[in-house]
Structure 1
Amino acid sequence: MEIKAVPVSKIDFSKYGVYYNMNSASDNLWASQGDGWNDFRTQVPIISSPGSLGITQGTPLPCKINKMERHLHTQEALFCLSDPIVVAIANCGESKQPLASEVEAVIIQPGEVIVLNKGIWHDACHGINKSVRYYWLAEEYEGEPTEWMDIHGDPIELQI
């Protein structure tokens, strides 16, 4: 099954979590500025538990994915470093594995952040035609119960 990634700003992301565009003022951000700088920050903590900051290197698109993971104990925030990232996501309710029919792929641009709700299936992020590094924030601890599960249905080929 081929899935084409779309800009995260073009979908209703609320079924997966929270979307922030940190590049400009919005209802869920505070703004401040000074001599030679300006910033935007979230009005609430971005995840609901203490989080660990991680960095991952993802493979380039196009690529095939056969497995996805979810976290039932934590939200996960994903941030670009300097290049856009693409992530496949699925909200399959109580399903014990991700369903190919429910998978979407979104492009996250620098300055955009997504926060995945607990239980949202996702893969590692990918770069557009090249490997990419990205940050993530989630509750991590020794023995953290994360499982990568086979996608039920056809394998997914992610495209840009």
Structure 2
Amino acid sequence: MTALIARPITPESFAPFGRVYDLSGAASPDVKVMAGEGWADSFTLRPLIDGSGHLGMTQGPAAPWSCRQMERHPLTEEALFCATAPIVLAVAAASDAPAPAATTLAAFILRPGMVAVMKRGVWHDACRGLNGPAPYYWMALCGLGNDPWVPVAGGPVEVRA
């Protein structure tokens, strides 16, 4: 079984799959930060996803795991963000193929304050907690059709943090 080591997410490393926001850092061209006495408020300067998304929450088990299946959403972007603890996201390149290719998988670590917005059609597995089971939030348009989970072609792939 092929092994894949997750790396910290950055806008540059995640660019083939989507975009990244850091709401825990300083202001940037994509994020505005306002502060007062003992508080800071950060937000994205553009809407998080295209369209009026639905907010969801998933409880993920702990990494490492064997990535055997993935899903994709050709009709919506999907944003993922931590609730209280870091998570690991496994993705594969968007394609017209009927299944994600094991050779295109990448894995990223998101820490609280980081947001990953996947492009339409990017294959992904459910996230796992970096240091144990962890909840995380997602935002996407729902009810657009069936997005089946399919086996990873050439897989499975062992995802480690």
TM tier relative to shorter chain: over 0.9
Cα distance in 1 for partners of 2:131, 2:34 equals 36
After TM superposition, the structure 1 = structure 2 runs for residues 1-160 of structure 1, keeping only pairs within 5 Å, are 1-9=2-10, 11-24=12-25, 25-141=27-143, 144-160=145-161
TM-score, normalised relative to structure 1: 0.94
Aligned residue for 1:12, secondary structure, equals: helix
Gaps of 5+ in 2: none
**Secondary structure at the residue paired with 1:38?**
strand
**Stretches of 4+ moved more than 4 A in 1?**
none
How many positions carry a matched residue from both structures?
159
Indicate the percent of aligned positions where both proteins have the same amino acid: 38
Provide the secondary structure at the position in 2 that maps to 1:101.
Answer: helix
Code of the aligned partner of 2:145: E
When structure 1 is superposed on structure 2, of 85-94 and 113-122 the one drifting more is 85-94
Please, what is the CA RMSD of the aligned residues? 1.4
1:106 aligned partner, one-letter code: F
* Counterpart Cα distance in 2 of 1:10 and 1:47: 16
Q: Which runs of 5+ in 1 are unaligned?
A: none
Any idea what the Cα deviations from partners look like across 1:23-61, whole Å, max 9, x if unmatched? 121110112122331111100000001111000011111
Q: Is the 8 A contact 2:65 2:158 kept in 1?
A: yes
CA deviation string 1:53-105 (max 9, x = no partner): 00001111111111000000100000001100001011142221100000000
Q: In the TM superposition, what is the alpha-carbon distance from 1:11 to its structure 2 partner?
A: 4.7
SS in 2 for 1:71: coil
Contact 1:52 1:138 in 2 (8 A): yes
Instruction: Tell me if structure 2 keeps the 8 A contact 1:99–1:151.
Output: yes
Corresponding residue SS for 1:61: coil
Instruction: Tell me the CA shift for residue 146 of structure 1.
Output: 1.2
TM-score (norm 2): 0.94
Q: Contact 1:90–1:103 (CA<8 Å) still a contact in 2?
A: yes
Q: Distance in 1 between matches of 2:129 and 2:52?
A: 28
Structure 1 residues 118 and 10, CA, compared in 2 at 3 Å: closer, same or farther?
Answer: closer
